[in-house]
Amino acid sequence: MEMRFPEVKAPEPAELETGRLLFAGETTFVKGVVAMDGLPPADRMEICFAGRSNVGKSSLINALTGRKGLARASNTPGRTQEINYFTAGDIYVVDLPGYGFANAPVAVVEKWQRLLKNYLSGRPTLRRVFVLIDARHGAKAVDEEIMSLLDRSAVTFQVIMTKVDKLRGDALEASLAKTRAALAKHPAAFPELILTSSEKGDGIPTLRAIIAGIS
Ligand SMILES: Nc1nc2c(ncn2[C@@H]2O[C@H](COP(=O)(O)OP(=O)(O)OP(=O)(O)O)[C@@H](O)[C@H]2O)c(=O)[nH]1
């Protein structure tokens, strides 16, 4: 299953095991943050997940941590409005608010954008941002915006393609090629895409191993 996608180098068994162990224990919710002064102390490494509303972020975090109700999967785009902190092993896993939602009031969007910007550019322990992109839709303008912000903030990021079970063959290849081309313009980006399906579990052990390998 893990070998189906040649994008990232397949982790070694020992790396897979380290990744499994990192998420084998209890993943606990720490807090939802709405302002910079609410962030927990920057006392350990953290990684975070960013993506457009409905990209499948909650589903991915649930699959990663093996806890169904942890990050709520919802069909109502844009309902996750806080920076949510979780602990997994000795790291923080951070769930950023989904961006690009159409119906939220402008003032609300602006407040989130400000928080997002401040967080991404001012968190010393943030080691990597995983930018989620729906395999069916490819990178949209809002994804480009966040990737440019990450470039400017010098925060390295890696793209996770979500819902790859919805595409196959040439359609999947075309989507990947387009995303790779988009990434080539971003100096802070890792070139390799991580392909995932939370529904099928594809790519989840690999993602765990990648996270465990970040130091
Ligand atoms: N086929 C398929 N559907 C998925 C997958 N991951 C998520 N979905 C579906 O996509 C929709 C959105 O998933 P969520 O995980 O709630 O998305 P989100 O990005 O957290 O959404 P917000 O809460 O709006 O930010 C749901 O209907 C999920 O069931 C996947 O890997 N495959």
Domains of the chain from N-terminus onward:
2-212 (3.40.50.300)
Q: Tell whether ligand 1 has an atom less than 6 A from the beta carbon of residue 77.
A: yes
Instruction: Let me know: does 162 contact 135? Beta carbons within 8 Å.
Output: yes
What residues contact 168, with CB distance under 8 A and at least 6 apart?
A: none
Q: Count the neighbouring beta carbons within 10 Å of the beta carbon of residue 68.
A: 11
- Residue 73, C-beta contacts closer than 8 angstroms, at least 6 positions apart: 58, 59, 62
Going from the Cα of 24 to the center of ligand 1, the distance in angstroms, rounded, reads 23
Query: What is the predicted ipTM?
Result: 0.96
Each of the 215 residues of the chain gets a pLDDT tens digit; together they read 343 445 788 899 999 999 999 999 888 889 988 889 999 999 999 999 999 988 999 999 999 998 776 666 444 444 457 899 999 999 999 999 887 666 677 887 788 788 888 999 889 999 999 999 999 999 998 899 899 999 999 999 999 999 999 998 899 999 999 999 999 999 999 989 999 999 999 999 999 999 999 97
Query: Quick one: pLDDT at residue 8?
Result: 81
Q: Which of 41, 46, 80, 44 is nearest to 62 (CA)?
A: 80
Q: What is the pLDDT of residue 74?
A: 47
Is the CB of 59 within 6 Å of ligand 1?
yes
CA distance linking residue 201 with residue 199, whole number of Å: 6
- Is the beta carbon of 186 within 6 A of some atom in ligand 1? no
> 91 phi and psi, to 5 degrees?
-125, 165
